[in-house]
Amino acid sequence: MNVSLLLVILFASYSCVTLVYVYRFRGHTRYKNLNQFLRKSWPIFAPFNCLLYMATHSAARKPVLDTDFLKDFELLRSNWETIRNEALSIQSNGMFDLVKSPGAVGYFDVGFRTFYKRGWSKFYLKWYGTTHVSAQRLCPATVALINQIPAIQGAMFSVLPPDSELTIHSDPLACSMRYHLGLDTPNSDDCFIVVDSEKCIWRNGEDFMFDETYPHYAKNRSEQQRVILMCDINRPMNTCGKAINSVYRLIAKCTLVPNTSEDKKGVFNILFSFFAPFQLRSQQLKIARPKLYKTLKLMLNSGLIAIFVTLLYGTGRAIEKLLLF
């Protein structure tokens, strides 16, 4: 058996094992069925995420974590009112409505676009190496605070309106942990997030952290909006995990989304804005001719898998030639 074929078989076997682990064994919460899992959990990233799960410090291998070990985060907690004031100022200027308006530069968000229909919105502050110019202009105090904390890789303000919810889902990349700091919340048990069956309540000036790759959902059953500071924090890992993550989080870097035209764009944002008209047509086709839509979707996905397998096989062939050389 040549190296190329062996590499394909090993990766396919490993991928199947990781998919089964994430779907059936990781944590306590289960998706209703395989179809929901495939739609809501980004299973394509499971093989890579599992490498980081194994490298994560044992104390951090759980859905919800204490924030006590986070160095320098008292800086955010002690200044939460300053941060809140800037978030509310942005809201009064209409920025949260602007970024989710179809056609706006901030609308083409690969990671969070599906939340817009729930009324959810956001305003980016920084994202994996890039600080947004619009954030520096509109909320300089908050930007100055988060830039003093090296562990913060990404940060945004997030709004969940009254009587709304985000359905169960898992975030795609395990390169970070998710931090929430309550800014303008109902301070009520009716406004909460459930992470792998663990319920967390948002309250003003209080924070918590969780692993966003566990299934989670959020509800605001109150009559008041919920505004928070949301940050991506370095995942606590051993040296091997950090080395893998230094490459893996380049994917997150490519998902950079601008708030306004003055901000930089990531590769995926540019691609998403280019393919958006085609996506709209596909949704129209899904309604008008569902059987044809499913057939074309199957052909596209099969083609993408074939391309990936071909690239993997080619990598194996290259390695084989180097070994023989």
Q: Are strands 226-234 and 176-184 parallel, antiparallel or unpaired?
A: antiparallel
Residue 205 is classified by DSSP as T
**Gap between the Cα atoms of 156 and 54, Å rounded:** 28
Determine how many CB atoms are found less than 10 A away from the CB of residue 146.
Answer: 21
Per-residue DSSP letters for 153-175?
Answer: EEEEEEEE-TTEEEEEE--S--S
CA dihedral 200, 204, 210, 212 (to 10 degrees): 100
Cβ-Cβ contacts under 8 Å for 222 (sequence gap 6 or more): 162, 163, 186, 188, 190, 191
Report the run of H or E that residue 39 belongs to, with start and end: helix 34-40
d(CA 160, CA 121): 7
Radius of gyration of the chain (CA): 21
What pLDDT, in 10s, does the model give residues 45-85? 999 999 999 999 999 999 999 887 788 999 999 999 999 99
Cα-based distances in Å from 258 to 94, 104, 112, 126, 252: 16, 10, 13, 10, 14
- Any idea what DSSP says for residue 22? I
Contact predicate 10/316, CB 8 Å = no
**Rounded to whole angstroms, how far apart are CA atoms 262 and 255?**
17
Classify strands 191-195 and 198-201 as parallel, antiparallel or unpaired.
antiparallel
Q: What is the rounded distance in angstroms from the CA atom of residue 85 to the CA atom of residue 95?
A: 14
| Helix, strand or coil, per DSSP, at residue 123 | strand
For residues 264 and 254, give the distance between their C-alpha atoms in angstroms, rounded to a whole number: 11
| Partners of 180 in the β-ladder | 208, 230
The confidence score (pLDDT) of residue 325 equals: 59
What pLDDT, on a 0 to 100 scale, did the predictor assign at position 235? 95
One digit per residue, pLDDT tens: the chain, 325 residues? 576 777 778 888 999 999 999 999 999 999 999 999 988 999 989 999 999 999 999 999 999 998 877 889 999 999 999 999 999 999 999 999 999 998 899 998 988 888 998 899 999 999 999 999 999 999 999 999 999 999 999 999 999 999 999 999 999 999 999 999 999 999 999 999 999 999 999 999 999 999 999 999 999 999 999 999 999 999 999 999 999 999 999 999 999 999 999 999 999 888 878 777 776 677 776 788 888 777 877 787 777 677 777 776 676 677 667 666 5
* Cα–Cα nearest to 7, from 313, 239, 320, 241: 313
Q: What is the pTM of this model?
A: 0.90
What's the confidence (pLDDT) of residue 319?
A: 66
- Mapped onto helix, strand or coil, the DSSP state of residue 115 is helix
Hey, is 307 helix, strand or coil? helix
Q: Which 3-state string (H, E, C) describes 169-229?
A: ECCCCCCEEEEEEEEECCCCCCEEEEECCEEEECCECCEEEECCCCCEEEEECCCCCEEEE
Look at domain 64-271 and name its CATH class: mainly beta
d(CA 307, CA 299): 12
pLDDT for residue 307: 76
